[in-house]
Amino acid sequence: MREYGHISPRVRENLVQTLKKQGIKDLRVLEAIRNTPRHKFVDEALQHRAYDNDALPIGNGQTISQPYIVARMTEALLAGNKPGRVLEVGTGSGYQAAVLSRLVKEVYSIERISKMLPLVKAKFAEINIKNVKFKHGDGNQGWVEHAPFDAIMVTAAAAGVPTKLYEQLKMGGRIIIPIGMESEVQDLVEVVKTASGHQYKFLDKVRFVPMRSGNI
């Protein structure tokens, strides 16, 4: 395993073993978590907690998701297939996109808070990730220029599946999204697009910041 600064491989391995105990089974996901330097995506003052299985603040009222939730959503996205083109709504710290970049061919990530993107882009350049494209914009609108997508991951809680996102999903594709925008705890669901409509599957209980329209 690679050494990342002062963070030892053992600390990262402990996180992977914790995720296994919590039920994450996909070896591809566990390997991506193992090899993604989460400490690069948190504030320097919190780097000693980077491999704890906790969500951490990243400023602007946002958080870096708990590693278990990142792994759970990624595992659900990959289940039964390997999507080639994935849209992520809510770049945040960039950690989820970094994990996805190790597992799919192309990642397109949208962030509504403009001042977060330069920091994320600098981190991706530092760790040499080149298959992720970023956009400042309203995630509810998706990224029509690169649609259709094999899969979509939404990392903020919505009232329901945004129409534009569903329209930009390939037939047979899936959206992983927290539903329950005004609730403290949301339902993480999988929505699969089929010829006869859409199929919902409950995955877990989660806590995410609400999905907002517009960009700043």
Looking at the DSSP bridge assignments, the partners of residue 86 are: 107, 151
User: Do residues 170 and 184 lie in contact, with contact meaning Cβ atoms separated by under 8 Å?
Assistant: no
Please say if 65 is a catalytic residue.
yes
Among 61, 56, 62, smallest CA distance to 43 is for 56
Strand ranges, E, within 67-105: 85-89
C-alpha 163: how far from its chain's center? Answer: 20
Exactly one of 8, 65, 93, 109 is catalytic; which is it? 65
Among 158, 191, 178, 147, smallest CA distance to 69 is for 178
Task: Enumerate the active-site residues.
Answer: 65
